[in-house]
Amino acid sequence: VLVVSEQGEAIGVDLGGQSLKLAMVDAAGRVYLHRHTPLDAGRPVEEITALVVQAIAGLQADAKREGLVPRCVGMVMPGYMDRDRTRLLFAANLPTLNGGGFLAGLRQAVNVPMVFDADSNAAAYAEYRFGAGRGIERLIVVAIGTGIGAGVMIGGAILRIWNHIAGSLGHVIVDPRGRRCPCGARGCVETVASGPALERLAAELADRYPDSSLAAWRTKAGRLTGIEIAAALAEQDAAAAEAVRECGWWLGVAIASWAVIYRPHKVVIGGGIAALGEPLLEAIRAGLTDVGQPSCTADLAIEPARLGPDAGLIGAAALAREETCM
């Protein structure tokens, strides 16, 4: 059933390192006419530009058939932008787009106003407007995936300290004698609590406990990703539980540091790895209370995200609507 409101439709676009997702989003944050295209992030900027422009035109045509005329487009991606958000300065997962005229070229080729932002900001804005962070005065929304991204909302506004983001929260150092991070620092929370960190730890535990469900799932699937770890966890496997406990605990340690800076009332946990659910949240809370400043962390709520993988494009459309005065 297509749910279509009378006004306020905007197009939300989420450009990631592996896929391009877009949809119509109405003023209540409802998503319809979803499109999803795989993306080879190594392609030249001209090809990626053409892909995005074609996808938007296709969605506009779909919308027209439903009697809808989206009046703006919000597009989000990982990385950060210059002062007036007209240039993408750096996106680790989209190397050919860095520093050039990608955003300006898109704006020229698309026939309605276009607004750009960081995906972490858009997800935070979406959870604040429509999801688990509704009305929260000081809110952090985390996405655990290939890396750890986070957006910060203060009094309903996106916190933009540097290059339009609140800071590189995934690179807060939690283990100074730990692993070197690709960013050049040592012991960033990304090195111990991201998706790849969880997979690495799970592989070590599967080696150590060959009779575990974790080891059995690795044999069956030929790999050990979040899906297999979740399956082993559902079978009450002790090795899987240990992997989740360890990674979650480290994220809790990072949140304890974020908490003394931003004083959040709530931290919302999203991203692919968040599908591990309550065991992960429990581990995060344990890390937070084990090391955090009690006066700052005692009332800090840790809750799951509500909007799932569409949070970025929902926030993108809402930001576009707001910034183009619809």
Task: Give residues in contact with Zn ion (CB under 5 A).
Answer: 171, 181, 183, 185, 188
**Which CB, 106 or 181, lies closer to Zn ion?**
181
Report how far apart, in Å, the C-alpha atoms of 36 and of each of 21, 118, 254 are: 5, 19, 33
Dihedral sign from CA coordinates of 210, 215, 219, 225? negative
**Which CB, 183 or 203, lies closer to Zn ion?**
183
Least CB distance to Zn ion at residue 92 (A): 11
**Which CB, 151 or 315, lies closer to Zn ion?**
151
Least CB distance to Zn ion at residue 170 (A): 7
Q: What is the DSSP letter of 165?
A: B
**Which CB, 194 or 212, lies closer to Zn ion?**
194
Least CB distance to Zn ion at residue 273 (A): 17
43 burial (CB, 10 Å; 0-12 / 13-18 / 19+) is middle
**Which CB, 119 or 190, lies closer to Zn ion?**
190
126 burial (CB, 10 Å; 0-12 / 13-18 / 19+) is buried
**Do 125 and 174 contact (CB within 8 A), yes or no?**
no
As given in the structure block, the two tokens for residue 168 are 């590189």
As given in the structure block, the two tokens for residue 221 are 């699937």
Instruction: Compute the distance between CA of residue 138 and CA of residue 262 in angstroms, rounded to an integer.
Output: 7
**Do 198 and 146 contact (CB within 8 A), yes or no?**
no
List, as one string, the DSSP characters of 70-97: ---EEEEESSEE-TTS-SEEE-TT-GGG
Least CB distance to Zn ion at residue 188 (A): 3
**Which CB, 191 or 213, lies closer to Zn ion?**
191
Instruction: Compute the distance between CA of residue 259 and CA of residue 264 in angstroms, rounded to an integer.
Output: 6
Least CB distance to Zn ion at residue 58 (A): 38
List, as one string, the DSSP characters of 41-70: TTS-HHHHHHHHHHHHHHHHHHHHHTT---
Least CB distance to Zn ion at residue 185 (A): 5
Q: What are phi and psi of 32, to 5 degrees?
A: -150, 170
Least CB distance to Zn ion at residue 186 (A): 8
**Which CB, 131 or 147, lies closer to Zn ion?**
147
Instruction: Compute the distance between CA of residue 312 and CA of residue 116 in angstroms, rounded to an integer.
Output: 12
As given in the structure block, the two tokens for residue 202 are 């799970």
Least CB distance to Zn ion at residue 151 (A): 18
